[in-house]
Amino acid sequence: MNFKEAAGVQAADVVTSGMKVGLGTGSTVYYTILELGRRMKEEGLQFTGVPTSEATEKLALELGIPLAELWELEPLDVTIDGADEVSDSLDLIKGGGAAHFREKMVATVSKRLVIVADESKAVAKLGAFTVPVEVAVYGWRSTARRVEAEGCVAVRRERSGEPVRTDNGNYILDCDFGLIVDPGAVDRRLKSLLGVLETGLFVGMADTVYVAGPQGVRVLKQQAGE
Ligand SMILES: O=C[C@H](O)[C@H](O)[C@H](O)COP(=O)(O)O
């Protein structure tokens, strides 16, 4: 079992029958979703999922997991998702797979956000990974200029020479801020800019993080009052 699988499978334990569950996106929570599908078939686990991306929706449907729209189910009991960076205070950078807009929307209406990651994602402070920022296609160069004025270098994400489009049809700017001392302030400043739709900074949202490494799976919990 690789580290992503170890974290992903263990975190599936938080789901019990009757729950409404946000299903995250990426190569780590993939294993959580597989495990939930297995428990559904083999152990009779019953739950309803809300997918955070088209890729996750496809996977869940292949596994026979019942799905619903966010508005039909909110508030959700828990969302399980991956992350690109997890800081000591459990703040996150997400959106390496361009799914952070829907992920944040689903996590925001969930009573709990549980994160699964391998040790390579754990950092003291955020910032080695660039911050993905979803922006409207119209006027994106102007938006990028406003974003850069906040103290970063912003590069439009491309694949094979073509701009990446999110599931919502927008562009991603990958923004290099260097070390981020106050992620909440950076998130608020970016969100106030015209053309910015969502950032990949998830501040104070995760309550539990499963981090897998050579020593096994560590379970980190948000301290009360943080
Ligand atoms: O947009 C993608 C999501 O935020 C993912 O959860 C994040 O990029 C981590 O993905 P992975 O588990 O594949 O590293």
- Mutating to test ligand 1, I would choose from 2, 23, 25 the residue with most ligand atoms within 8 A of its C-beta, which is 25
Regarding whether 110 and 47 lie in a shared domain, the answer is: yes
Q: How is residue 26 written in tokens? A: 């990426």
Mutate to test the pocket of ligand 1, among 53, 92, 94, 113 (most ligand atoms within 8 A of CB): 94
Mean pLDDT in the chain? 97
Average pLDDT, stretch 7-25? Answer: 98
pLDDT (mean) for 138-147:
98
What pTM, to 2 d.p., does this model score? 0.97
Judge if 77 and 157 occupy the same domain: no
Which residues span the domain enclosing 177? 131-199
Are residues 12 and 103 part of one domain? Answer: yes
**Whether residue 50 is found in the same domain as residue 10:** yes
Residues 60 and 101 in one domain: yes
Domain shared by 114 and 76, yes or no: yes
Same domain membership, residue 94 and residue 64:
yes
What's the pLDDT band for 64 if we cut at 50, 70, 90? very high
pLDDT classification of 1: cutoffs 50, 70, 90: confident
Same domain, 76 and 30: yes
**111 and 158 both lie in a single domain:** no
Please write the tens of the pLDDT for every residue from 81-137: 999 999 999 999 999 999 999 999 999 999 999 999 999 999 999 999 999 999 999
| Order of strands, sheet of 78-81, starting from the edge strand that comes earlier in the sequence | 47-51, 19-23, 78-81, 113-118, 208-213, 216-221
- What is the rounded CA–CA span in Å between residue 160 and residue 178? 26
Check 5, 85, 103, 134 and give the catalytic one: 103
CATH assignment at residue 148:
3.30.70.260
Is the minimum distance from the CB of 81 to ligand 1 under 6 angstroms?
yes
Here the CATH number for the domain that contains residue 28 is 3.40.50.1360
Q: For this complex, say whether ipTM is above 0.95.
A: yes
Specify whether 198 is catalytic.
Answer: no
